[in-house]
Structure 1
Amino acid sequence: MAAGQPRMLAAERRQRIVDMLENHSSVLISDICRECGVSAVTARGDLDYLEGEGRLKRTHGGAVPITEYVVPRVSERVRKNVRAKQAIARAAAERVSDGEMILVGSGSTTLEFVKALRGRRGVSIVTNSCHIIEYAEQHLPEITVMCTGGTLSREYRHYYGPLVAASLADIYLDQVFLGADGFEPSFGFLAEYEETAHAKVEFLRHARTRVVLMDSSKVGAGRSFLRFARPDGIDVVIMDRDPGRLVADACAGGERDVRVIEALADD
């Protein structure tokens, strides 16, 4: 960028990077620094953002174009409470061993969980989430991905409806991992939409261990949701933090012994 030229906005800078990749087989961080007049730290942040959008593939020192399938734009939810979701994802991934076959529901936190499985071998994932399928296709070659049946939600990019249940009829696995849109201590784990709640209920029927991944902002969420599990209807809750032990206290004393794990408890 020439001296005295106005600094680019982030959106303009990222589009410039995409344009550079359209004309070259690769782009280096040094190229971005020179072209956009930014530091290497900013350039790396832009590349990380664009990779998360499915618009390029990060390499050591730069990036290359994605020449085949490009992951569609992910919901803004993916970029909310990112640190908490990543901590939850890492804690959840520790529960998964090489060779396991697991069920994973749709959602931004479960997508982070699947990202944290990088390096696992022989793992198989059954999911109704297009985002998870597309991410695993591009970034997790050692993981086998199986998709449920169902009707495609074009807006939220997951499958729902009666065919979800039909496709899971003969499956029973060790673990299922689900996200939650809310939690009311006196009521249970909640989903925002009817179709999502029904899919989660179905997933819970097909695993021995039921795991919910949920950041602390979801506790006491003051909106109208649909319950997919009672407080004692699951086995493990993995959170960043349990505010005031609301989740642990609500889940205690039921028929099932529920373990609440706080991924950021020692911070």
Structure 2
Amino acid sequence: MSDNHNLLAEQRRSLILDEVRRHGGARVNDLTRKLNVSDMTVRRDLDALARQGVIEKVHGGAVPVAEASTHEPGFEAKSGLELSAKEDIARAAAAMAVPGSAIALSGGTTTYALAHHLLDVPDLTVVTNSTRVADVFHLAQQSGGAGARHPGAAMVVLTGGVRTPSDSLVGPVADQAIRSLHFDVVFLGVHGISVEAGLSTPNLAEAETNRGFVSSARRLVVVADHTKWGTVGLSSFARLDQVDTLVTDAGLAREDREVIAEHLPRLVVAGEPGDPPPAERD
């Protein structure tokens, strides 16, 4: 890893967080050697990760934060994590959206990243329970007009409901709206994914809303960075065998890929050097 001194701060912090989570902790002097950066740089990175609430600083290093199954981070807290991975996932998932189709996007920071890439897919009908996702399309339409770069305006339906800390709308109003519709593809962000628990969330009301998305999907595409694998929230809302495709990033360990491949019909690992675009893999 001798060239990691050229990494952007966000990429470096992602590597540090992965190291802390994989090994249950990391020492500053070990991180400086692995990343080939100064002691001060590592300590600044640890400070930033601690402010985001994903690690706890200890003498000489850091340990992961043990989250309760009911803990639900807010949108802003999650938005600064795994940015490169989310962008890779978003680009790969956007290639699966067919012009003129009806799609749904759940709440979350990965689906928020995906929404920006879907602006270039013409004539979509988009249903979402995410105020953030709806804002992406609304702002694009507001800035449209002659010469706009986006080829076709999406028709966007916001479900209504009660807002969660992650700016998703849940509850009976959202559930009724979602279950009355049928989607060509549902792009679903998740809090956690595992063999035993399937797809899960710490929010009971969001679990019910997500069940509506799953039941209304002709094709279910889960978009989740590698840190979501092995995480379990309070409430499961779908089994792994209900997922058609998992789109994740290159940070997913090889052994985890093998496990997932045994349970899912399709795994797309985005962002690996030399990989063909997702559309060329079908």
TM range (shorter): 0.5 to 0.7
Higher relative contact order (CA 8 A, sep 6+): 2
Alignment of 1:2-17 (within 5 A): none
Aligned to 2:249: 240
Alignment of 1:154-193 (within 5 A): 155-193=165-203
Q: What 5-or-longer segments of structure 1 have no aligned partner?
A: 1-72
Q: Is the 8 A contact 1:185 1:246 kept in 2?
A: no
For the residue of structure 1 that corresponds to 2:111, the secondary structure is: helix
For the residue of structure 2 that corresponds to 1:146, the secondary structure is: strand
Superposition misfits of 4+ residues, deviation over 6 angstroms: none
Aligned to 1:64: none
Aligned to 2:270: 263
Aligned to 1:230: 239
Q: For residue 263 of structure 1, report the CA deviation from its aligned partner.
A: 0.4
Alignment partner of 1:139 is 2:152: no
Aligned in 2, Cα 1:224/1:172: closer, same or farther, shift over 3 Å?
closer
Q: Is the 8 A contact 2:183 2:217 kept in 1?
A: yes
TM-score, length-scaled by structure 2: 0.62
Deviations 1:145-176 (A, max 9, x none): 101132233x4322111122211233112100
For the residue of structure 1 that corresponds to 2:100, the secondary structure is: coil
For the residue of structure 2 that corresponds to 1:212, the secondary structure is: strand
Aligned to 1:150: 161
Deviations 1:53-92 (A, max 9, x none): xxxxxxxxxxxxxxxxxxxx95121121000000000000
Which residue identity lines up with residue 161 of structure 2 in the other structure?
Answer: G
TM-score, length-scaled by structure 1: 0.65
Higher helix share: 2
Aligned to 2:87: 86
Q: Alpha carbon RMSD of aligned pairs, Å?
A: 2.1
Which residue identity lines up with residue 136 of structure 2 in the other structure?
Answer: Y
**Matched length:** 190
Q: For residue 265 of structure 1, report the CA deviation from its aligned partner.
A: 3.0
Aligned to 1:124: 125
Q: What 5-or-longer segments of structure 2 have no aligned partner?
A: 1-73, 145-152, 275-282
Which residue identity lines up with residue 263 of structure 1 in the other structure?
Answer: A
For the residue of structure 1 that corresponds to 2:179, the secondary structure is: coil
Q: For residue 237 of structure 1, report the CA deviation from its aligned partner.
A: 0.2
Aligned in 2, Cα 1:190/1:127: closer, same or farther, shift over 3 Å?
same
